[in-house]
Each structure stands twice: as C-alpha cells, then as structure tokens.
A and B are shown apart, each in its own frame.
Chain A
C-alpha cells in the first residue's frame, strides 16, 4: 500500500485525512438515517466551511514560520463591523442605497483594512521582537473591543443586495451551466499542468512517475472536481425562488414545478481560489520558499540573505487580507454585521491548520491539508447539529478530535523517522 502511494507520489497524511473524512461522513449518514450525504447538506457544509478555510490558508504560513495568530476571530469581527458601516451607512449617505459599486468598495475596504491590521501586528512581531503569541493575544482583545466601539455594540443590517451573494444563500450560487463550465475548465487546467510538468521533467532527464500513475492522479483530481459540480447541481432552489426566476424570464410556472439547480456556491469558489493562490505563493514563488526556510532554520535564512523580518511582516499582512475576505463571507452570509462575529474562529482556524498536518514546531504544512482540516471540523459540527447534539457536547467532541488527531500525527511522524 505504501509503495503504491509512493509511486503515485501522494502523501500518506493526505490519504489519512481523506479516510477520516470518509469515516465521519458515512458515520453521520448512517446515524442520521440518511440525512448527511444529501446534496442539500453537502452544499451547506461547503458554504459553512468557506470562511474558516480561507483563514486557515494564511494560518498555515504563520505557523510554518514558528509563529501564531490568535487575533483572527476578533479581527474578523472588527472588519465585519467596518464594512457593515461602510455599506449600510457611509456609502448610502453619499451614493444612495443599492448603488452598484457599493459591494466593490466594501470588499476593497475589508481586504485593505485586514492587510493593514495584519501588517501592523506583523511589524511589532518582526521588527520590535515581541513574541507573536503576546502581540496577537493583545490583538484578540483589542480588535474585539474595537468591533464593539464602531457602533457601540449595535448590529447593522441588512447588507447590500450585490454584496450578499458572497456569503452563499439563494442568490449566492452560480447555477448549473456555469458550474459545469467551471468544472470542465478546471479539469482542462489540471490535465494541462500535469502534461507540462511531465514534459519539463522529461526535458531535464529527471525521474518520472509511471504514466498510469500520472493518469490515475489526474483522473482522481478531475473526478473530485466533477463530483463536486454534480452534487451542487443536484441541489434544487426552493420552489418559490425557482418560480420567481421562471416568471421573471417571461415563462409560466408549470404544474408540479421544475428543477433549477443551485450550482457551486460563490463563497466556496472564493475559498478555492484563495487556496489555489496561496498554494502557488507557498510552493511556486520566492516568498513561500522564504517562509518555509525561516520555519526550518531562521538563522540560516537570515545568513542566506533572506530578509526574514520583512517576510514575517508580509505573512501577517497576508493573514490580515485573508481575514478581510473571510469577514466579507461571514458578514454576507449572516446578512448583518455584529460585534460578536468570528468569536472563537481563531481556535477553529488553528485547529484546521494543525489537523491538516501543519507542525507547530514550524517548517511543515500544506494549504490543501489545512482546507481539508477545516472541512473535517465543519463536518463534525454540522453532523452533530443534524443529530441534535447539544452545543456544549459539540465543543467537547471537537476538542477531543483535535487532541487525538495531533496525537495520531505524532505517532505517524515517529514511525516515519
């Protein structure tokens, strides 16, 4: 089995996570009497995972540099309040309600504010040498306090109608045809990249994995993509919404209704885009190489001429920008900005990264792992909600799973050595 994986060049840890996910999913499916593995539940699960998954991408890089960020949940709350005020109070006062550019400004403000807050914390850590645990612990309190301060604790609602699709919901999916188009496009890119990478390795005369292995990996990836599209396209819009769409198109609503699919959710597409971008940044660009080198040996990176302080500051700025994106997703999903948004998110984000194989000792971690970690955490929670488990018990289970997952990882690492 392990030789087989070696030939395929798939990490055993990834397989372990997929197996865990499969066990969790089938377990809940059986326990809930067939309610878990439905298009509706899986679609909702993917939307609920998006915000944590986006932030987990940044957290991986932070933990890889041997640091931590405890402030992301509070920062999400603060940024959520800022963009709530921007789109529900400031911009309507200037442009009027429902201006077409409102959502663009809101998203831009969220990302810029996040990057600025992150860069501020990162500068204190990198240039003043204050431990990241302390700086971001301070941030956890400060940003949460500021979130309250923006409106003296008042909740702001509703959000702009063009902003709301970012959070999913009925308007937040791209429909069946576009979903298929995206899925097929993604498959084409997967195949093209596999082909080009192989050609390049061949040109240098490096070791190649057997053709069947190459084909199998590419086929599995395409299978996952198309499977996800199929599931999203099997989840129909509610009859009332479908009827409105049909009638708005000048048609008549037939007896018994018709099937209009949701398609892929916009927040999920955002999370995937972030995951792909950060993976490219982490593994294919100088910046990522420096991040990992700093995690492996900070002194060596410094002596090699890497600007370690600047790199560290930028990692925090990136984390902040991702918090900005996550703030858009969760604010849009809730259709309101509350000062409690994102409470405890820092722990879920860190847990997702760690379950995904990111080592707290630094130097090791993958974006894909962290996103799968986020999916596993959310699956546990959604599953327990489906089974009607009380919230305190949910927390106990998630806590136990985190500890057990890291314990298993420790055993695995010892055996590899």
Chain B
C-alpha cells in the first residue's frame, strides 16, 4: 500500500456541549476496499462519518483525499470530492418523486434554466432498472414507497453521480433478508469498480462477510483497526463491548489498557 489512501482522516475530534462525540480518531480507506466502522449506538460512528460527508465540521484534525489535504465545509464540498452518503434515515424528501430525490441539488436543467424532468426521469428509470428492476412508481412521492424501494432510491442517488467514496450508514437496518442480500451484492459490485466504501453498523454480523477491515469505536475513541482475516468475530465483539484489543488488531487511543 505505497500509494496514498483514498481517504485518510487524522486526529479528528468534535465536541457537542462539552461532550467529546469523536475524540482524536484516525481512519483510512483505500480504493476498492470496504471498511466496516463498528461500535455501539452513541460510539461516535455516525458523527465521524457526518464530518466526512460535510454535515459537521470537526473541531480539530485533518482529512486527506488521495494524499491531498481538503476542507469539507458543506455536503456540496463532499460531493465534489466524490464522497456520497446513504444515511440511516435515508434523507429523502418524502413529498417529491424518485427522480427529484435522486437529482436533488444536482438537477438537470435546459439552457433556459428550466428543469429537464423528462431527462431526469429517463435517467432514473435506467439506474433504478439496475438496482431494483421491479420498481414502477416513478411518478409518486417517495412517501408512498416501501422501505426497500426507498432504500433503492437513496442508493441510486449515491451511485448515480460516479461516487469514488461511498458511506453507508446502517444500510440494512430496515430491510428484509432478500433486500439485505441485494445490498450485499451491490457492495461487492461497487468494490469491483474500485469504489471505497465505509459501512457503518452496530451489528457485526451484518458486515463481517463484506468488509476487508474493521475499525471499532467506543465512547468517541478508536479502539483499534484490524483486517478481517486477522481477527475472529468474537474478538471484534470484545472490541465493541469491552474495548479490548486482540493481538491481531492495531490498537487505537480507545483500547483498554493493561
């Protein structure tokens, strides 16, 4: 791994009202790699990732994209660096249709500045056809869609714009077994295309088969990182619950001492 990682977050800290939600965390992500970011609810995973996606600004620390130091102040900045995020809440505007959501903030317009809805609908049909071939409800507000269909729209929005770095926050939390498998297949497919993926989960079973590495957080600190081949699921569970770093992992500042 001589070349610079796709993403390198160094010494990231952020506090809300005196509580350190993220405390001096280092994580990195390489091309075509899946890194699972694990930890209990409130461990700081989502906050860390919201810093990368531009929703929060860190109090300290730096972010490097392919070795270049970058300043990500807004979600728009993040998208410019090819960082796309699928939020746990999906972050869809319920009152507009799939195409409007997929292109939200990046609408196709004609020369006169008019929205080109027909072109956007056509593109939406294409990308949804790949993700969810049974999807037909292009004209309805996404409020009317099922959980799996809404998830497809959120994923389509992330991958349509040539993402290089994809963040998936609890991507399978609300899905049935068939849809969970679909998301798994999609992760493998995107990995093949060289996209780097952060998978965030509080449930190790969801992600252990998909991930190349795991990074475990506890109380805002990094317990450690490990290649999935070097540790067992039980050892990772020990990292999540106790903060105990096994021999196969590289310990972080949050590792239990002694």
Nearest residue, chain B, Cβ from A202? B118
In the complex, what residue of chain A is closest to B85 when comparing beta carbons? A303
Query: Size class of A's contact patch?
Result: 20 to 34
Residues of A within 8 A of B122 (CB): 204, 206
Determine if B96 and A289 form an interchain contact, defined as CB atoms under 8 angstroms apart: yes
Q: Point out the residues of chain A lying under 8 angstroms from B76, CB to CB.
A: 305
CB within 8 Å for A305 and B121 given contacts A285-B114, A289-B104, A292-B95: no
- Against A, the Cβ 8 Å flags (1 = close, 0 = not) of B124-167 are 00000000000000000100000000000000010000000000
Contact A285 B121 (CB under 8 A): no
Would you call B106 an interface residue if the criterion is a C-beta within 8 Å of the partner chain's C-beta atoms?
yes
Give the complex CA separation of A264 and B100 in angstroms. 38
| A359 to B246 alpha-carbon distance, docked (Å) | 56
CB neighbours (8 Å) of A304 from chain B are: 75, 91, 104-105, 157
Residues of A within 8 A of B105 (CB): 290, 301, 304-306
Smallest Cβ-Cβ distance to A361: which chain B residue: B95
CB-based nearest A residue for B77 = A305
In contact, B115 and A285 (Cβ under 8 angstroms): yes
Q: Binary interface profile of B, 72-96, with partner A (CB < 8 Å = 1, else 0)?
A: 0011100100000101011111111
Could you say which residues of chain B place their CB within 8 Å of the CB of A247? none
B96-107 vs A, CB cutoff 8 Å, 1 = contact: the mask equals 100011001111
Is B55's beta carbon under 8 Å from chain A?
yes
Known: A206-B118, A304-B75. A364 touches B91 (CB 8 A): no
- Tell me if A10 counts as interface (CB < 8 A to partner B): no
Given known pairs A293-B100, A305-B106, the reply for A363 and B115 (CB within 8 Å) is: no
- A415 CB within 8 Å of chain B: no
In the complex, what's the smallest C-beta–C-beta distance from B73 to chain A, in angstroms? 12
Choose from A285, A296, A305, A364 the contact partner of B75 (Cβ within 8 Å).
A305
Shortest Cβ gap from A5 to chain B (Å): 15
Interface secondary structure of A, over-half rule: helix
What residues on B are CB-neighbors of A299 within 8 Å?
A: 89, 91
Query: Which residues A12-52 have CB closer than 8 A to chain B?
Result: none
User: Is the beta-carbon distance between B93 and A293 smaller than 8 angstroms?
Assistant: yes
B113 close to A (CB within 8 Å) = yes
User: Which residue from chain A places its CB closest to the CB of B141 in the assembled complex?
Assistant: A296
Report Cα–Cα, A344/B188, bound state, in Å: 62
Cβ A289 vs Cβ B53 within 8 A? no
| A296 near B118: Cβ-Cβ < 8 Å | no
Q: Which of A203, A286, A297 contacts B91 (CB 8 A)?
A: A297
In the assembly, what is the distance between CA of A203 and CA of B55, in Å?
39
**What 0/1 readout, one digit per residue, does chain A (286-313) give for beta carbons within 8 Å of chain B?**
1001101101110111111110000000
Q: Are B113 and A206 in contact (CB under 8 A)?
A: no
Is A284 located at the chain interface by the 8 A CB criterion?
yes
Instruction: Given A302-B75, A303-B53, A305-B79, check contact A295 B95 (CB 8 Å).
Output: yes
Closest to B113 in A: A285
Indicate if A200 sits at the interface (CB-CB under 8 A).
yes
Could you tell me if A364 and B115 are in contact, using CB atoms closer than 8 angstroms? Answer: no
Give Cα A300 to B85, complex, Å. Answer: 11
Q: How far is it, in angstroms, between the C-alpha of A62 and the C-alpha of B53 when the chains are bound?
A: 29
In the complex, what distance in Å separates the CA atom of A290 from the CA atom of B109?
Answer: 14
Q: Does A244 contact B (CB under 8 A)?
A: no
Q: Give A301 to B91 CA distance when docked, in angstroms.
A: 8
In the complex, whether A201 has a CB less than 8 A from a CB of chain B is yes
Give the residue among A292, A303, A306 with the most B Cβ atoms within 10 A: A303
- Most chain B CB within a 10 A radius of its CB, from A200, A300, A301: A300
Find the A residue at minimum CB distance from B139: A207
Q: Beyond A286-B109, A297-B92, is A306–B118 a contact (Cβ under 8 Å)?
A: no
Once A303-B53, A303-B55, A303-B87 are accepted as A-B contacts, the answer to whether A293 and B104 lie under 8 Å apart by CB is yes
* Complex: chain B residue closest to A297, CB-CB: B93
Residues from chain A with Cβ under 8 Å of B157 in the complex:
304
B104 / chain A contacts, CB cutoff of 8 Å? 289, 293, 300-301, 304-306
Q: Can you list 25 residue pairs at the A/B interface with Cβ under 8 Å?
A: A201-B118, A286-B115, A289-B96, A290-B105, A292-B93, A292-B95, A292-B96, A292-B100, A293-B104, A296-B93, A296-B94, A296-B141, A297-B94, A300-B93, A301-B105, A302-B55, A303-B53, A303-B55, A303-B75, A303-B85, A304-B104, A305-B74, A305-B75, A363-B94, A364-B95
Given A296-B94, A299-B91, 11 other A-B residues pairs in contact with their CB atoms under 8 A = A203-B118, A204-B118, A280-B114, A285-B113, A292-B100, A293-B104, A296-B95, A301-B93, A304-B104, A305-B79, A306-B104
A residues sitting closer than 8 Å to B (CB atoms) are 200-201, 203-204, 206, 280, 284-286, 289-290, 292-293, 295-297, 299-306, 363-364
Ranked 9 nearest A-B pairs via Cβ: A296-B93, A296-B95, A363-B95, A305-B76, A305-B105, A300-B91, A304-B105, A293-B93, A304-B104
